[in-house]
Amino acid sequence: MRRSLLVFALLALGVVPALAQEIDRAAEYRQSAAVLARYPDVPIALDAPALKPGRSEFTSQAEMEAFLAALKARVSALVLGSLGRSQQGRDIPYLLFTQEGLADPAAVVALGRPILWFIGLQHGNEPAGGEAMLALCAMLAEGELKPFLDKVSVVVVPRANPDGAAAFTRATASRADLNRDHILLTLPESAALHGKLVELPPDVVIDAHEFSVANRWLQKFGVIEASDAMFLYATHPMVHPGVTALADGLFRPALEGAWQAHGLKSFWYHTTSYRPNDKLVSMGGNAPGIARNTFGLMGAVSFLIETRGVGVGMQGFERRVATHVVAAKAVIAAAAGEAARLHDAVVAARRGTAADRAALVVAHRLAVGPVELPMLDPKSGADRPTEVPFRDSRAVTPTTQRARPAGYVLLGEAGAAARRLALNAVAVCALAVPAAIEAEGFVLKGAIKAVNRESINPDQSVEADLAAKALALPAGALYVPMNQPAAGIVAAALEPDSPGSFIGTGILAIPPGGREVPIYRVDAAAARTLRLRLVPLPGAPADACGG
C-alpha cells in the first residue's frame, strides 16, 4: 500500500519512469504459491533472450535488435527490415519469411499464398507476446516452422510499440493507446505498421497481448483469472461473414485444440471497467479502430490473443510466452493445411464487400446475459467459476442502419483524412472535371460533447440527421467509392455517428459554429455522372476509380 502511494506521488509530480518501471517489473500482484503451482513451465524449446536461465528482466530494445541481427546473420534468406521509427526514435523492425526469401512485397503477393501477420507489444506492458514473436522468428528461420513456408508467407512485428515497451507502459510515448488508432492512424507507430500492411495484405492477423490477472477481478469478484489464454476474433458487425466463418470454424478449433494439448486453458477474451461497482464484464469491444476489428474490416481473419501477464511481472513468463508460441504454431499449421481454401475465402470476402449493397450498421447494441467465467481462489488456487453479467460482442442488434451510399464526397481540409484512408487500403479518387450533383449531407444533432477514443464499444456522443444537399463540386474534390474491399473501413471512418469516426474524433473538422459535416453521401445515380481519377497516395489500391 505504501509503495503504491509512493508511486502515485511520483506520478503526480511527473517524476516517473525509472522507479515505476522497476516496481512494475517486480509485479504489483504476487500470486500465491498454490496458484503458481498450477502454472508450471510448458516443456517446449523456446529461443528468446528473456527466457535464458537466470534472467530477471524483460528483453530490451537493444537485445531484441541484436537477437534479430544475429538471426539474419545466420539465415540470409529471411528479410529483416524496418517499418519506421517510434515517437522517441526507436526502430520498429519487421521480418518477412517466404520460402524464396523474397523482399519485394509485390513478388510475395504474386505467390498467391496466404500472408499471415503476427504482431507483438502494441501495449508495452504486455511483454509475453513480443517475446513469443522472437521465438517464432527463430522457428520460422531455421526451426520446425520453416517447412510451412511452401504454403504460407509470414510477417512478424515483434514490437509494435517500442517506446511503451522501453517504459513498460501500455500506451505510446504520447500516452495514446496504439490499439485504438487503427482507423485514425494518428500515431507514427500505427502509420508505420499500416504502411507495410497495405503492401502485404494479410489473410490472417494475430495480435498478441496480455490480460490482467488479479487487480480489477480481485476487487470486484474476489477471484483471479484462471485462463492461460484469451482470444477473440473481429466482431465489428460489418466484418464479412465469410471471414468470421473461417475465424470461428477453422482457426478457433485449431487454437483451442493446440492449447488443450499442452494443458493450457483458454476462454473468450473479456475485460471490465475500472469502476468498482460496475460488475459488467464485456468481451473485447466493437470499436472499429481496435486492431482486431480494423484488420477484420480489411477482410482478414483477425484474432486478439492474450496471456495472463498484466500486473504479475515475470511470474510464469515462460508459460505465457509458450502459450503465444503454441497459438502461433497452430495458426500457421491450420493456414498451411487449408492454404487454398483460406486464400480463396479471403479473396471472396473482399470481393463480396466491394459488391455489397446491404444497409450499413452505423450503431448497434450488444446482448448482455449471465456467463460463468473460469476464475480461481487467489489463496488456495482452487477453481472458483464466477457468474457475471457478460456483454457479448458477437450478439449485435443494429440501432442505426442507413442505406449504403455509392460513395462519399469529402470537402474542406480532407487531405490528411485521405492519406489515412489510403493506409487502410482504401482508394481515394478525385473529380477529373467539375460536377453538380444532388447528395445527402449530415447535420449534427448537437455539438460533440465528448471525444472518447479509448472506448471499446459504441458509446460515443455524436448523432447526426441526413439532409438533402445540392453540391457544386470543383475538379479535384475528393470522392471515396464504396465499391472496394475496404468499404467497411470507409463507412466506419466517414459516417459521423460510427464510433471513433473521423468527425467524432476531430480528425475531420466541422467548420466553426456550424453543424454541417463536410462529408456527403452520394447515391449510385449521382456517382455515375462523376468523372474520377485515382489520387496517388501511399498504400492506396489502383483500381477503384474507374468509370
Work out whether 159 is an interface residue with Zn ion (CB under 5 A): no
Smallest distance from Zn ion to CB 208, Å: 9
Smallest distance from Zn ion to CB 286, Å: 17
Smallest distance from Zn ion to CB 123, Å: 3
| Closest CA relative to residue 500, chosen from 291, 308, 335 | 291
DSSP H helical ranges for 111-251 = 127-142, 162-167, 188-197, 215-221, 241-246
Would you give the binding string for Zn ion spanning residues 199-238, x where CB under 5 A is met? ----------x-----------------------------
Q: How far apart are the first and last CA of the chain?
A: 67
* One-letter identity of residue 401: Q
Smallest distance from Zn ion to CB 379, Å: 27
Smallest distance from Zn ion to CB 323, Å: 15
Q: Which is nearer to Zn ion, 129 or 299 (CB)?
A: 129
C-alpha to C-alpha distance for 4 and 349, rounded to whole angstroms: 49
Smallest distance from Zn ion to CB 440, Å: 38
What are the two backbone dihedrals, phi and then psi, of residue 350, each rounded to the nearest 5 degrees? -65, -40
Smallest distance from Zn ion to CB 280, Å: 20
C-alpha to C-alpha distance for 401 and 463, rounded to whole angstroms: 13
C-alpha to C-alpha distance for 363 and 459, rounded to whole angstroms: 9
Q: Which is nearer to Zn ion, 123 or 151 (CB)?
A: 123
Whether the Cβ atoms of residue 495 and residue 360 lie closer than 8 Å to each other: yes
Q: Which is nearer to Zn ion, 123 or 292 (CB)?
A: 123
Work out whether 180 is an interface residue with Zn ion (CB under 5 A): no
Q: Which is nearer to Zn ion, 180 or 343 (CB)?
A: 180
Q: Which is nearer to Zn ion, 290 or 478 (CB)?
A: 290
Q: What is the CA radius of gyration of the chain?
A: 23
Whether the Cβ atoms of residue 207 and residue 303 lie closer than 8 Å to each other: yes
| Closest CA relative to residue 179, chosen from 205, 198, 156, 202 | 205
Of all helices (H) and strands (E), which one includes residue 154? Answer: strand 153-157
Q: Which is nearer to Zn ion, 122 or 386 (CB)?
A: 122
Q: Which residues contact 512 (CB under 8 A, 6 or more apart)?
A: none
Name the one residue in this structure whose C-alpha cell is 474524433. Answer: 505
CA atoms within 13 A on the CB side of 431: 23
Q: Which is nearer to Zn ion, 161 or 483 (CB)?
A: 161
Smallest distance from Zn ion to CB 96, Å: 24
Q: Which is nearer to Zn ion, 255 or 444 (CB)?
A: 255
Would you give the binding string for Zn ion spanning residues 83-122, x where CB under 5 A is met? ----------------------------------------
The count of residues interacting with Zn ion (CB under 5 A) is 3
Smallest distance from Zn ion to CB 538, Å: 27
Binders of Zn ion in range 126-155 (CB under 5 A) = 126
C-alpha to C-alpha distance for 176 and 170, rounded to whole angstroms: 9
Work out whether 324 is an interface residue with Zn ion (CB under 5 A): no
Give the length of the chain. Answer: 547
Q: Which is nearer to Zn ion, 86 or 501 (CB)?
A: 86
Smallest distance from Zn ion to CB 161, Å: 10
Q: Which is nearer to Zn ion, 207 or 256 (CB)?
A: 207
Work out whether 123 is an interface residue with Zn ion (CB under 5 A): yes
Of all helices (H) and strands (E), which one includes residue 412? Answer: none
Work out whether 308 is an interface residue with Zn ion (CB under 5 A): no
Count of H-run helices and E-run strands, the chain? 17, 21
Chain residues that interact with Zn ion, rule: CB under 5 A: 123, 126, 209
